[in-house]
Chain A
Amino acid sequence: MKKLMSAGLGLLMASTAAVSHAEDVKIGMITTLSGGGSHLGVDVRDGFMLAMEQADRDNVQVLIQDDARRPDVAKNLANEFIQRENVDILTGIVWSNLAMAVVPSAVRKGTFYLSPNAGPSELAGRLCHENYFNVAWQNDNLHEAMGVHMEKDNVKKPFILAPNYPAGTDGLAGFKRYYKGELAGELYTKLGQTDYAAELAQIRASDAESIYFFLPGGMGISFMKQYQSAGLDLPVYGPAFSFDEIILGAVGDASVGVKNTSQWTHDLENPTNRAFVDSFSKKHGRVPTLYASQGFDTANLILSALDEAHPDDQAAFRKALKAAKFDSVRGDFRFGRNNHPIQDIYVREVVAGDGKPTNRLVGVAVEDIQDAYVEQCKL
Chain B
Amino acid sequence: MTLSLILEQLLNGIQLGTMLFLMASGLTLVFGVMGLINLAHGSFYMTGAFVTAWVAGATGSFWLGLASGALAAAATGAIVEVLVVRRLYRRDHLDQVLATFALILIFSEGTRWLYGSSPLWLNVPESLTGSVTLPGGVSYSIYRLAIILMGVVVAVGLYLMISKTRLGMRIRAGENDREMIGALGVDISTLYTLIFALGAGLAGLAGATIGALQTVQVGMGEPVLILAFVVIVIGGIGSIKGALIGSLLVGVVDTLGRILLPDFFKLFMDASDAAGVGAALASMLIYLLMAIILAFKPHGLFAAND
A376 at the B interface (CB under 8 A) = no
Task: Tell me the B95-138 residues at the A interface (CB within 8 Å).
Answer: 108, 112, 117-121, 123-124, 129-131
- Neighbouring B residues of A42 by C-beta, 8 Å: 117
Find out whether the CB atom of B213 lies under 8 angstroms from the CB atom of A198.
no
Which chain A positions have C-beta within 8 A of B130?
A: 229, 231
Cα A39 to Cα B215 with chains together (Å) = 13
Tell me, rounded to whole Å, the shortest Cβ–Cβ distance linking A220 to chain B.
9
The chain B residue sitting closest to A36, CB to CB, is: B219
Q: Which residue of A lies closest to B260 (CB)?
A: A198
Q: Are A33 and B117 in contact (CB under 8 A)?
A: yes
Chain B 208-223 against A: per-residue CB contact (8 Å), 1 yes, 0 no?
0010111111111001
User: Is A229 a contact partner of B141 (Cβ separation < 8 A)?
Assistant: yes
User: Of A39, A226, A231, which one neighbours B118 at CB under 8 angstroms?
Assistant: A39
| Inter-chain contact A225/B123, CB cutoff 8 Å | yes
Q: Which residues from 253 to 294 on chain A have a C-beta closer than 8 Å to any C-beta of chain B? A: 286
| Closest B residue by C-beta to A218 | B215
| A69 CB → nearest B CB, Å | 9
- Look across to chain A and name the residue whose beta carbon is closest to the beta carbon of B271: A186
Q: Which residues of A contact B171 (CB under 8 A)?
A: none
Q: Is the CB of B217 within 8 A of A218?
A: yes
Total residue contacts A-B, CB cutoff 8 A: 120
Q: Is the CB of A229 within 8 A of B131?
A: yes
Stretch from B4-12, B71-79, B82-90, B233-241 that touches the partner: B4-12
Q: Beta-carbon contacts of B60-77 to A below 8 Å, as 1s and 0s?
A: 000000000000000000
Check A205 for interface membership: any CB of B closer than 8 A.
yes
A197 within 8 A of B: yes
Distance of A187 Cα from B278 Cα, bound (Å): 9
| Cβ-defined contact, A225 with B120, below 8 A | no
Interface residues on B, range: 35 or more
Q: Is the CB of B117 within 8 A of A230?
A: no
Query: Would you call B129 and A202 a contact (CB within 8 A)?
Result: no
Whether the Cβ atoms of A226 and B279 lie closer than 8 Å is no
Q: Distance (Å) between the CB of A318 and the closest chain B CB? A: 35
Contact (A195, B16) CB under 8 Å given A189-B279, A190-B279: yes
Q: Are A202 and B5 in contact (CB under 8 A)?
A: yes
Candidate in B218, B262, B279 with the most chain A CB atoms within 10 angstroms:
B279
Chain B CB within 8 A of A178 CB: no
Known: A187-B279, A195-B16, A221-B215. A250 touches B119 (CB 8 A): yes
Q: With both chains docked as a complex, state the minimum distance between the C-beta of B208 and any C-beta of chain A, in angstroms.
A: 15
For residue B283, CB closer than 8 A to chain A, the reply is: yes
* CA A225 to CA B217, docked complex, whole Å: 14
State the main secondary structure of chain A at its contact with B: helix
Q: A38-B218, A225-B213, A250-B118 are in contact. Are A186 and B12 (CB under 8 A)?
A: no
Give the number of residues in A that approach B within 8 Å (Cβ atoms).
39
Q: Looking across the interface, which residue of chain B has its beta carbon closest to that of A220?
A: B215
Residue B139 at the chain A interface, CB threshold 8 Å: yes
By the criterion CB–CB under 8 Å, are B262 and A187 in contact?
yes
Chain A nearest Cβ from B45, distance in angstroms: 12
A32 to B117, CA, bound (A): 11
- Is A188 touching B2 in the complex (CB atoms < 8 A)? no
Q: Contacts A221-B215, A229-B141 hold; do A197 and B120 have CB atoms under 8 A apart?
A: no
Per-residue 0/1 for A181-203: is the Cβ within 8 Å of any B Cβ (1 yes, 0 no)? 00000111110101101110110
Report the bound CA distance from A172 to B271 in whole Å: 13
Do A201 and B217 contact each other (CB < 8 Å), given the known contacts A38-B117, A186-B272, A230-B131? no
Q: Knowing A36-B220, A229-B124 are in contact, say whether A197-B259 is a contact too (CB < 8 A).
A: no
On whether the beta carbons of B262 and A222 are closer than 8 Å, the reply is: no
Is A246 an interface residue, CB under 8 A from the partner? yes
**B283–A190 touching, CB < 8 Å:** yes
- Which residue of the partner chain A has the closest CB to B255? A198
Contact A35 B218 (CB under 8 A): yes
Find out whether the CB atom of B123 lies under 8 angstroms from the CB atom of A197: no
Asked if residues B141 and A198 are in contact (CB atoms below 8 Å), the reply is no
When each residue 149-181 of chain A gets 1 if its CB lies under 8 Å from chain B and 0 otherwise, what string results?
000000000000000100001001000000000
Given A249-B121, A252-B121, answer yes or no on A194-B223 (Cβ-Cβ < 8 Å). yes
Cβ of A59 within 8 Å of any chain B Cβ, yes or no, is no
Q: Nearest Cβ distance between residue B102 and chain A, in whole angstroms?
A: 15
A86 at the interface (CB under 8 A from B): no
Proximity string of chain B (129-169) to chain A, C-beta cutoff 8 Å, 1 when within and 0 when not: 11100000001010110000000000000000000000000
State which of B117, B120, B131, B279 has its C-beta within 8 Å of the C-beta of A188.
B279
Whether A231 and B131, one on each chain, are in contact in the complex, defined by CB atoms closer than 8 angstroms, is yes
- Cα separation A33 to B113 with both chains bound (whole Å): 12
B193 within 8 A of A: no
CA A199 to CA B280, docked complex, whole Å = 15
B214 and A201: CB pair below 8 A? no
Does B258 sit within 8 A of A, measured CB to CB?
A: yes
Q: How far is the CB of A36 from chain B (nearest CB, A)?
A: 6
Among A36, A187, A197, A225, contact of B144 (Cβ-Cβ < 8 Å): A197
Measured between beta carbons, the chain A residues less than 8 angstroms from B2 are 205
Q: Are B255 and A39 in contact (CB under 8 A)?
A: no
